[in-house]
Amino acid sequence: MKNAAFMFVVLAFLGGAYLTSLDEIHVDWRLFTPVMVLGFIGAFVYLREANRAAIHSDTLKNNQQILAASLHNIVTQLDALEGRKERIPTYDMRFEIDRLFREDLRQFAEARNSMKHLYGLQHFADIMSSFAAGERYINRIWSASTDGYVDEVLLYVAKANAQFKHAQAAFDAAQPKAAAGY
């Protein structure tokens, strides 16, 4: 059902694009409107099915473990990186970032929507606010490394570390709520 709904969205988009390209001035609204309505219905069904799958208890339990492990790994690796950042050549820091964080960042991002169901929206916002800031700082380290900005690389390692530690604290604070069976 989820895949069929996604196909409706894709086909509606393509159909709408085709219908608007037929005439550069006028749009045939009698055809365009039903195509867009089908697209919106497909999007609604897709989101409903995705939400239904996201709140399945096995998915929530598995994602909770992924979230905890990924965030713990990121904080641990950033602590280690903080201690040895001066010894890593600036241009090599981007490779170190890719090696240390890519997989954990990806896994956390893929599982993040389960936090809404596990901990509630406020805890989700608290965790993701710090996580997103930390992720931006990691991206900044990577860019500064590529450009050869030594001072920025060193500065943003510390900033990323602080943000991910804050995200870890917010995640840990949300745990009693999840244990209470939210």
Any idea what the CATH number is for the domain that residue 87 is in?
1.20.120.330
Residue that finishes a domain, picked among 36, 53, 70: 53
| Pair 103, 71: CB distance under 8 Å | no
Whether residues 13 and 84 share a domain: the answer is: no
pTM of the model: 0.71
Q: What tokens does 39 get?
A: 């697209």
Whether residues 81 and 93 share a domain: the answer is: yes
Domain count, the chain: 2
Among 98-112, 148-162, 165-179, which stretch is predicted with the lowest mean pLDDT?
165-179
| Pair 19, 34: CB distance under 8 Å | no
Whether residues 49 and 60 share a domain: the answer is: no
Whether residues 79 and 94 share a domain: the answer is: yes
Give 94-98 contacts, CB < 8 A, sequence gap 24+.
Answer: 94/141, 94/142, 94/145, 94/146, 97/138, 97/141, 97/142, 97/145, 98/142
Q: What tokens does 129 get?
A: 């606010």
Whether residues 44 and 132 share a domain: the answer is: no
Q: What tokens does 3 get?
A: 């895949």
Reply yes or no on whether the pLDDT at 178 is more than 60.
Answer: no
For CA atoms 56, 59, 65, 68, the dihedral sign is negative
Q: What is the pLDDT of residues 93-148, one digit of tens each?
A: 999 999 999 999 999 999 998 898 889 899 999 999 999 999 999 999 999 999 99
Whether residues 75 and 137 share a domain: the answer is: yes
Whether residues 43 and 79 share a domain: the answer is: no
Whether residues 71 and 108 share a domain: the answer is: yes
Give residue 78's Cα distance to chain centre: 19
Whether residues 70 and 94 share a domain: the answer is: yes
Range of the domain at 92: 56-179
Whether residues 48 and 66 share a domain: the answer is: no
Among 22-36, 54-68, 72-86, which stretch is predicted with the lowest mean pLDDT?
54-68
More confident residue, 102 or 47: 102
Whether residues 91 and 159 share a domain: the answer is: yes
